Structure 1
Amino acid sequence: MDAQESKKIIIFDDDEDILSICTYILAERGWEVFTYTDCNAITERVSSIQPSVILMDNWIPDAGGIIATQTLKSTDELKDIPVIYFSANSDIQLLADHAGAQSYLAKPFDLDELEGVINNVLAKAS
């Protein structure tokens, strides 16, 4: 990665293990990682960080991933930030579509899948 501004990613997930694994992996690959275990004050949090991409869990307190994603997508200055929806729910694709997410990742996932889906949404966004 070149010396310009670092790539920023926010992960919303109430599972501390997933947060720590994803943070470790993504930081190793040059990402600046921000994590939250709830989606409260989501527009303020995302506005202050301005990430390149967001990973959103389905079962996140308090509002849940669908409402949180829809909130971001209805906010003009945040609606173009790609959201990757991730969940162990078997209906992940339907949930992601309903939320308005750009992509989705089923849990459990491997690290190549994580990286692949992030790279795909960034390529589409640019």
Structure 2
Amino acid sequence: MDKNKRVFVFDDNPDILELCTIILEDAGYDIKTSSTSNDIIAQVLSYTPDIIFMDNWLPDVGGIDATKELKRHETLKNIPVIYFSANNDVKALAEQAGADDYLSKPFDIQELEDIVSKYILL
């Protein structure tokens, strides 16, 4: 049996992290969360996810810089990064960061599951 697909969610809001964990574990994914994008390369290398969700507002290193760092990394640049934010110009922020896609907050369960399944198949 294949190992479960892995999702890594970066967000400084514990409620969002908990919500994503519940939804995605229920859908059959393994999930890891982090409230900071400090040492982004080390964090992602330690888990090797199949997809990453990146919040815009993260302490210290923001989502844009963290995403750019991932996309410059030889091993990690092909992992899809989904930018997600309550910011009303989330699409522009995602483009600026070089993310693969974006998801506006608040989102519903179906939207979250749809965007994950768009990029990875269970």
SS in 2 for 1:6: coil
Structure 2, unaligned runs of 5 or more: none
Larger RCO (CA under 8 A, 6+ residues apart): 2
Name the count of aligned residue pairs. 121
Q: Does 1:58 align with 2:44?
A: no
Residue in 1 that maps onto 2:100: 102
Please report how far the alpha carbon of residue 48 of structure 1 lies from its aligned counterpart in structure 2 after TM superposition.
Answer: 1.3
Q: Does 1:70 align with 2:59?
A: no
SS in 2 for 1:55: strand
What TM-score results when the alignment is normalised by the length of structure 2?
0.96
Letter in 1 for 2:63: G
Q: Equivalent residues in 2 for 1:15-94 (5 A)?
A: 15-94=13-92
Please report how far the alpha carbon of residue 121 of structure 1 lies from its aligned counterpart in structure 2 after TM superposition.
Answer: 2.5
1:82–1:122 Cα contact (<8 Å) kept: no
Q: Does 1:118 align with 2:96?
A: no
Structure 1, unaligned runs of 5 or more: none
CA distance in 1: counterparts of 2:109 and 2:76, whole angstroms: 27
SS in 2 for 1:49: coil
2:5–2:120 Cα contact (<8 Å) kept: no
Aligned alpha-carbon RMSD (Å): 0.9
CA distance in 1: counterparts of 2:112 and 2:88, whole angstroms: 18
Please report how far the alpha carbon of residue 6 of structure 1 lies from its aligned counterpart in structure 2 after TM superposition.
Answer: 1.2
Please report how far the alpha carbon of residue 122 of structure 1 lies from its aligned counterpart in structure 2 after TM superposition.
Answer: 2.8
Letter in 2 for 1:16: P
CA distance in 2: counterparts of 1:111 and 1:39, whole angstroms: 24
SS in 1 for 2:46: helix
Please report how far the alpha carbon of residue 41 of structure 1 lies from its aligned counterpart in structure 2 after TM superposition.
Answer: 0.8
CA distance in 2: counterparts of 1:75 and 1:106, whole angstroms: 26
1:7–1:32 Cα contact (<8 Å) kept: yes
CA distance in 2: counterparts of 1:112 and 1:67, whole angstroms: 28
What TM-score results when the alignment is normalised by the length of structure 1?
0.93
